[in-house]
Structure 1
Amino acid sequence: MKPLFVLLGTFIISVLIIKITRNEYAWALAGRIAMAVMLFFTASAHFAFSKGMEMMLPPAIPFKKFMVALTGILEIAGGIGLLLASTQKLAGICLIIFFLAILPANIYASLHQVDYQKGNTNGNGPKYLWFRIPLQVLFIAWVYLSAVY
Structure 2
Amino acid sequence: METLIVLFGTFIIALLVIRLITKRTEISQAGRIAMAAMLILTATGHFLFTKGMAMMVSFLPWSIAIVYVTGIIELIAAAGLLISKTRLLTGRLLILFFIVLLPANIYAAYHNINLKSADYSGEGMSYLWFRIPLQLLFIVWVYFFSIKNQSKTV
Q: Unpaired segments of 5 or more residues in structure 1?
A: none
| Residue matched to 2:138 | 139
Aligned match of 1:65:
64
Distance in 2 (alpha carbons) for counterparts of 1:124 and 1:19: 40
Q: Cα RMSD between the aligned structures?
A: 0.6
Match of 1:9 in 2: 9
Partner residue of 2:36?
A: 36
Structure 1: which amino acid aligns with 2:118? G
Quick one: distance in 2 between partners of 1:37 and 1:25?
19
The alpha-carbon deviation at position 113 of structure 1 amounts to 0.6
CA distance in 2, matches of 1:121, 1:148: 38
C-alpha deviation, 1:50, in angstroms: 0.2
- What is the one-letter code of the residue matched to 1:47? F
> Following the alignment from structure 1 to structure 2, what is the Cα–Cα distance between the partners of residues 129 and 74?
24
Instruction: Give every structure 1 segment of 4 or more consecutive aligned residues whose post-TM-superposition deviation is greater than 6 Å.
Output: none
- The alignment of Structure 1 onto Structure 2 pairs a total of residues equal to 148
Q: Does 1:26 align with 2:12?
A: no
Matched position secondary structure for 2:12:
helix
In the TM superposition, what whole-angstrom CA distance separates every residue of 1:64-90 from its partner, at most 9, and x where no partner exists? 011000000000011100000010000
Q: Deviations over 1:17-42 (max 9, x none)?
A: 01111111100000000000000000
Using the size of structure 1 for normalisation, the TM-score is 0.98
Q: Does 1:126 align with 2:125?
A: yes
- What is the rounded CA distance, in whole Å, between the counterparts of 2:5 and 2:126 in structure 1? 20
- Looking at structure 2, the residues matched to 14 and 142 of structure 1 have their Cα atoms a distance apart, in angstroms, of 15
Deviation at 1:58, TM superposition (A): 4.3
Percent of aligned pairs sharing the same letter: 48
Assess if the C-alpha contact under 8 Å between 1:58 and 1:105 holds in 2. no
The one-letter code sitting in structure 1 at the alignment partner of 2:42 is: T
Where structure 2 has 5 or more consecutive residues not aligned to the other structure, the ranges are: 149-154
The amino acid across from 1:86 in the alignment is: K
Q: Please name the residue that 1:82 is paired with.
A: 81
Q: SS of the counterpart of 2:115? A: coil
**Deviation for aligned residue 1:57:** 1.1
